Structure 1
Amino acid sequence: MQNLLNHVRTITPLAIRKKVGPILGYLAYWYRTRIRGPVWEPRVLSISETIQKIREQNLSVIRFGDGELSLIEHSNLGFQKYDTVLANRLSEILRVEEENLMICVPSIFDRIEHLTPIAFWFEIHHLFRHGHTWRKFLIPGRTYGDAFMTRPYLTFKNKRDTGTLYTALKALWENTDVVLIEGTQSRLGVGNDLFADCTSVKRILCPPENAHASHEAILHEANKVGKEKLILLSLGPAAKLLAYDLFKQGYRVIDIGHVDMEYEMFLRNTDRIVPVRYKYFNEINERNPEECADPVYTSQIIATIL
């Protein structure tokens, strides 16, 4: 059936797909959530449950979303080209079951009317296109964390508890020595208080695009860091492999993804992504931000991989 759908999609003009695709996606969603009921869909913790479990059990975290699924399906992303090794390892890590490691996936497998209209239609289309891949790799009966744990604001209609969620999230690295593995222009926490309560912050700067090509070089620099430090990664799909390799070496890691971008939007009380000075945001094609000479930021950089 999936091969047939893919063939039909291939031969159908884009203009028609744009009109028909959302309708078919909604019909599939309506049937799955109101008639058929759950068959293969995983249990995904709420954001608050996810953060609480991470804190109480001192877990490492790797998050998966639509970008990783696209790479597994052999597609390019705007900031990460398809790579066979990357795709194969992503599919392997998605299925791993390790003590002290939480795998997170988006909480989109049940009813999602609580999402904003933009997010709702995006996820319906995503599941219509990629649900078969989720089904292939997710393990029946397993409980996953919510990948939205670092993106609790823009996606949801009800923003009443967002501040509380951010407080709980920031508590995961409060009073902790942190090492950030991020893109050269991401500048997480610059201009906001995301990491203000950390004992110390150091940064390993990496290529903002196609970072997987520098996997070994990044891993080499990360291995110079003491294992008593918490490593936070924001490097797209490449972060998943780095996080898992570092976890297996004895580090505690948390894949935080777009946490800074989302937090900046929360602070601005905006319902869409807007540019922020100094910061690279691939989601709005903001790829050439102003250089940052802030002395606190520059003093935190311990390595740069170009």
Structure 2
Amino acid sequence: MISIIVFSKGRPMQLHAYLESLLKFSDAQENQITILYCETEGIRYDKVMKAFPKIHWTIEKKFENNLKEAVSDAGEYIMFGCDDVVFTHTFSLQKAQTYLQQHEQVFGFSMRLGANITPQPVNLSTDDEIFEWEWKCTEQHYNYPWELDCTLYRKTDIIKMINEEENPIKNPNFFEAMVTPEQRKKRIPRTHMACNKEQGCAIVITVNRVQDTHQNGFDDSMLTDIYSLDKQYNDEDNTLDIEKIAQMDNHVVHVGAEYFILRKSAKGYSKKRVYRRKIKEFGAKLVKFPKRVYRHIESKKYLTGGYEQKLSILNTDETLELLEKEQFSFLRYGDGEIAIMQGKSIPFQEYNADLAQRLREMLVTKDSRIKIGIPYYYMHPLNSINDFTKKFARALPAQRRFLCKNCSKDVVYIDTALTQVYQTYQEYDFDNYYKRMQNLLRDKDVTVVCGEGVLDRLEHKALAVCHSVEYIYAPSMNAYTQYDTILRQIKDTDRNRLVCVVLGPTAKVLVYDLAQAGYQAWDMGHYFKDYDAYLRKRPRTGEEIAKFYQPD
């Protein structure tokens, strides 16, 4: 039996088009389909649910649990789907299943690839209607074996990959990203993929974005925000014209707003608008050209040491030596704290004017009980840091300018990277570093302040060397809204305990106020995750490091 599991968030109009086109162009039946949809305030799914009453509808509560349940209940073969997919040509899921049954070396059968998507790798199939290839090829689209648009997989392979995943699967983007390019050879034992030979049967219309964690390219040429589309669908009874969309040629999988064709004409939705937008975007690029020149000049200044004398910052080794010799509290600033001080929100903390003001004030403190950390590599180009961090550092002109303006030349700062050495450096004496850091925790009575569950999934526990550990749990997101409550809870503990705070920008203010109250407090940031990642020898590709820094 074949099952189809579809993910949707805030896009009932596009989900309608997915379902309508799937049932029109394939042999799929409604009772084979499960929709896992995430409720969004102001977005209405009632109409699309009534239009397809035989489908199994599940409200997302906790994505990973809902996903595992849907996979467990599914048939032997599963095709995943997303609500931005529209099917355009006839295909047979049963035929795809039969091909997988007869060809054990084939990992998945794609509905989105075919002769129209070029260039193609070498065809290994002897079937006149099927195209088969080695997915380890270099051709774009064909070297991407694991995706959630419209590929049929074996249930056994999917369960194996889910069970092997060590990180939380928070949403469909995390699910798709769990098999990184570096891990594919290890995690996908079957070496081939297949598709219909003549024509790819689906496109992905990337006109709006609903996930906040993984940034995909999208086209905002029309009024395609989810609320405008909800109004068009639910109030104006408008839908995507799948027949007209199917008549359009495509030579890539992901297409833009020109494919977003409505059955009823509506203001704000036309090809002319698309082209006007593209002209406007070209003009915007010309306007931004001087800024690009400035960034290039600033990057060159950074790489040639032009910022090294601007501020006094201890490097990582010097910071660790100081921590071993003296007893003090420390808090660390990074790009997130700078963003807050600049009036911006970050993924796990909305902008708060009071928080921003506190961060600015603490940045120049001369209190001997507290050391302030800023990233050493922001001002000092280092050959020893990894490529991801090097690229990141070169792209920080605004942050360097902010620190030069708002830090004090009379303060000796410590290095923020003290607590995330494995994610920062490519070449470093990691064994010696972790031995020394663990010695700083050894036999101490520690109070950890963090989001609930944040440290639970770590395999290697850095805190195991402590004499005792107690936890105070706080919100993982927007913790500053509960600041007074959190601080009061900590102050109910013994002052002789070391307080280790893992709570984003809120941790900085907590450490400062605790130091004023006679506690020793450390802003440990990512240290516990970093320690675990090192001992597990996690790869440090750009994708892996970016995932490491995502909110827990």
TM-score by length of 1: 0.79
Counterpart of 2:395 (choices 125, 131, 135) is 125
2:337 match: 68
Of the three residues 80, 99, 103, the one matched with 2:349 is: 80
2:494 paired with 1:226: yes
Distance 2:282 2:404 in 1: 25
Separation in structure 2 between the aligned mates of residue 220 and residue 140 of structure 1, nearest angstrom? 34
Seen in structure 2, the aligned counterparts of structure 1 residues 274 and 163 have a Cα distance that, compared at 3 Å, is farther
After TM superposition, the structure 1 = structure 2 runs for residues 152-191 of structure 1, keeping only pairs within 5 Å, are 152-159=421-428, 161-187=429-455, 190-191=458-459
Instruction: Describe the shift of the 1:179–1:12 C-alpha distance in structure 2 as closer, same or farther (beyond 3 A).
Output: farther
2:511 to 209, 218, 243: 243
Inter-partner Cα distance in structure 2 for 1:164 and 1:223? 34
> Residue 154 of structure 1 aligns to which amino acid in structure 2?
Q
Give the equivalent residue in structure 2 for 1:115: 385
Alpha-carbon displacement from aligned partner over 1:31-77 (angstroms, at most 9, x marks no partner): 245375645x2122122221221121111111111100000000110
Structure 2 unmatched runs, 5+: 1-280
Q: How many residues align?
A: 268
Between the aligned partners of 1:37 and 1:135, the Cα distance in structure 2 is 9
Say whether residues 1:145 and 2:414 are aligned partners. Answer: yes
Paired position in structure 1 for 2:317: 48
Residue 23 of structure 1, CA deviation: 6.8
Residue pair 2:462, 2:532 contacting (<8 A) in 1 also: no
Structure of larger gyration radius = 2
Residues 145-154 or 47-56, more deviating: 47-56
* 2:88 corresponds to: none
Q: Following the alignment from structure 1 to structure 2, what is the Cα–Cα distance between the partners of residues 37 and 203?
A: 40
> What letter corresponds to residue 534 of structure 2 in structure 1?
F
Which residue in 2 is equivalent to 1:296?
none
2:466 to 192, 198, 201: 198
SS at structure 2 position matched to 1:103: strand
Higher relative contact order (CA 8 A, sep 6+): 1
Aligned CA RMSD, in angstroms, stands at: 2.7
| Residues 502 and 524, structure 2, Cα contact 8 Å, conserved in 1 | yes
- Which residue in the other structure is 1:6 paired with? none
In 2, Cα distance between the equivalents of 1:17 and 1:262?
A: 41
What is the DSSP-based 3-state SS (H/G/I as helix, E as strand, rest coil) of the residue aligned with 1:122?
A: helix
State how far apart, in whole Å, the 2-side matches of 1:90 and 1:69 are: 9
Range moving further from structure 2, 85-94 or 102-111: 102-111
Which of 289, 297, 305 does residue 27 from structure 1 map onto? 297
Q: Secondary structure at the match of 2:459?
A: coil
- The TM-score normalised by the length of structure 2 is 0.45
AA at the equivalent of 2:514 = L
1:100 and 2:365 matched:
no
**Structure 1 equivalent of residue 526 of structure 2:** 258
Which amino acid in structure 1 is aligned with residue 386 of structure 2? Answer: T
Deviates more, 1:11-20 or 1:222-231: 11-20
Question: CA offsets per residue over residues 265-296 of structure 1, 9 Å max, x none?
Answer: 21221214899xxxxx77345x5xxxxxxxxx
1:62–1:255 CA contact under 8 A, matched in 2: yes
